[in-house]
Amino acid sequence: MMINEKMAWALQALAQPSEQQLNLFPDFANAADELALSWEEVIEDEDLSGLSESQKKALSVLDEYIVSISGKKNAHLWTNEALKNNIEWSKIRALASAAIEELGWQKVNLKPSKWAIYVDSNQAD
């Protein structure tokens, strides 16, 4: 089974050091939110049937952890500051790295997504 390019990008992005994660998005973007949205978009649509049970489990553990720290009560975790400093983001990076390893991949330095479109809400019309 071949994991699509968007999912590979989202998984690699979650595994990057915080400074690299911030560089994947425009300065005005909330990188923490963007990383989670990128992941959520691909994990829901990806056909994982060709993966081994251990590979599926590694992806599932990552996804379940992200979901467990989401929501209004955890809004403080979804900021660029939290991305740099909070232990929860260190755990996300570790789980994403473990999933990459389980898939038999190497971590790579990423370039910004070629699919995303960002709108700066601070710019006047």
d(CA 40, CA 42): 6
End-to-end CA separation in angstroms for the chain: 45
Taking the domains of the chain in order of start, what are their residue ranges?
A: 30-42+51-106
Judged against a pLDDT cut of 90, whether residue 109 lies above it is answered with no
User: 10 Å Cβ neighbour count for 78?
Assistant: 21
pTM of the predicted protein model? 0.89
Asked if 99 and 58 touch (Cβ cutoff 8 Å), the reply is yes
* Alpha-carbon radius of gyration of the chain: 14
Residue-wise pLDDT tens digits, 37-74: 999 999 988 888 889 999 999 999 999 999 999 999 99
